[in-house]
Amino acid sequence: MRAISWCWLMVALVAAPAYSRDWPDAGGWTIVETDSACGMSQTYEGKGESELLVWLNEGGDVGLSISNDLWSPVDGQKYDMDYLLNGTSYGGGSAVGDADKSKKGFVSRFDGTFLSDFAAGSSLTIYRGELLVDQLSLKGTTAGVAMVRRCMAALKANKAAAERERQRLAHIADDPFAVEQTEQEKLQFGANSAKPRSLPAAWVSDADYPSAAQRERRQGVTGYKLEVNADGQATSCIVTSSSGHADLDEATCRLLPRRARFSGSGVYESRVTWRLPE
């Protein structure tokens, strides 16, 4: 037996590799870590060259992949494979052909108990129906599986630490400048090119509250944008963010062009807070 090639290992592991640590060989098995799994691998000389990979996923299930340069399984096709390990039969049609590489083979999935049996096993015998497919020595699997479990513990610890750090910083914006100017910035730094001649708060009063909205105790905030001509008069009004009530929004754009007066032309954006009179 000799260590499996890294090329095959990277293809066989389902997750995209993210090798954060280099693990030593254990029991003659090559150990590898990806971003969501830890695996162990061997290559066997016999009828063709067989490559065996067993990996433990973060969720606790186990994958097994075996390929050979003489085989011809069809990619994605299901096969009636049986794995005999320590007197226990695993499989029953759960294998799927994997032909997307130079050596073609198949992949099976098992629950976590398979890995414990694999660690204690001396040989793995594989059948397709009644046909013997391969018989592989499991020398060194106890040490290999122990290292895989150690790898998985480290992987989970790293992810838990990364999640704690993510939560610690979650209240801070990724890019605080990706949003438009705040209302205060608009007033202070010129997003509004037209400047009011009077206080905008005086443009709408309690007396303007739509009667139906007042009876129904409805409130809200209407954002608006005014287009202002060279005479300082608003020529158009559009609602940029609704209060959630059509009559409040309509009153905003009906009243403001009549009452708002400006120095200079351009645009003016702000909002009206419709709050029920005390």
Encode pLDDT of 21-54 as tens digits. 789 999 999 999 998 999 999 999 999 999 999 9
The domain spanning residue 158 has which CATH number?
Answer: 2.60.40.1880
Tell me: do 160 and 188 sit in the same domain.
Answer: no
pLDDT recorded at residue 90: 84
Q: Which domain holds residue 262?
A: 183-274
pLDDT recorded at residue 20: 54
Task: For strands 30-33 and 37-46, give the pairing.
Answer: antiparallel
Q: Which of 101, 136, 168 is the last residue of a domain?
A: 168
Angle at 54 between CA 50 and CA 59, to 5 degrees: 155
Does 174 reside within a domain?
no
Tell me: do 110 and 215 sit in the same domain.
Answer: no
Q: Which of 105, 140, 168 is the last residue of a domain?
A: 168
Residue type, 73: P
Does 1 reside within a domain?
no
Domains in the chain, number: 2
Give 57-61 contacts, CB < 8 A, sequence gap 24+: 57/14, 58/152, 58/155, 58/156, 58/159, 60/111, 60/112, 61/109, 61/110, 61/111, 61/112
DSSP-assigned letters across all residues of 186-234: HHHHTSS-SEESS-GGGSS-GGGS-HHHHHTT--EEEEEEEEE-TTSBE
**pLDDT for 55-109, tens place per residue?**
999 999 999 999 999 999 999 999 999 999 888 888 755 789 998 777 899 999 9
Put simply, whether the predicted model's pTM sits higher than 0.95 gets the answer no
How confident is residue 19, by pLDDT bands cut at 50, 70 and 90? very low
User: Would you tell me how many other CB atoms lie within 10 Å of the CB of residue 63?
Assistant: 19
74/96 Cα distance (integer angstroms)? 9
The DSSP bridge partners found for residue 43 are: 2, 51
Tell me: do 153 and 80 sit in the same domain.
Answer: yes
pLDDT recorded at residue 175: 85
Distance of CA 194 to the CA centre of its chain: 44
What is the three-class DSSP state of 109?
Answer: strand
Average pLDDT over every residue of 128-155: 95
Tell me: do 85 and 122 sit in the same domain.
Answer: yes
**pLDDT at position 7 over 70:** no
> Could you tell me which of 83, 144, 148 has the C-alpha nearest to residue 110?
83
User: Would you tell me how many other CB atoms lie within 10 Å of the CB of residue 91?
Assistant: 18
Tell me: do 17 and 155 sit in the same domain.
Answer: yes
**pLDDT at position 125 over 70:** yes
233/228 Cα distance (integer angstroms)? 5
Contact 266, 193 (CB under 8 A): yes
**pLDDT for 169-212, tens place per residue?**
988 888 888 777 676 666 555 567 888 998 898 999 999 999 99
DSSP-assigned letters across all residues of 131-145: EEEEEEE-TTHHHHH
What is the three-class DSSP state of 174?
Answer: coil
User: Which sign does the torsion angle of CA 200, 201, 202, 206 carry?
Assistant: positive
Please state, rounded to an integer, the average pLDDT across all residues of the chain: 87
pLDDT recorded at residue 92: 58
Q: Which of 113, 138, 168 is the last residue of a domain?
A: 168
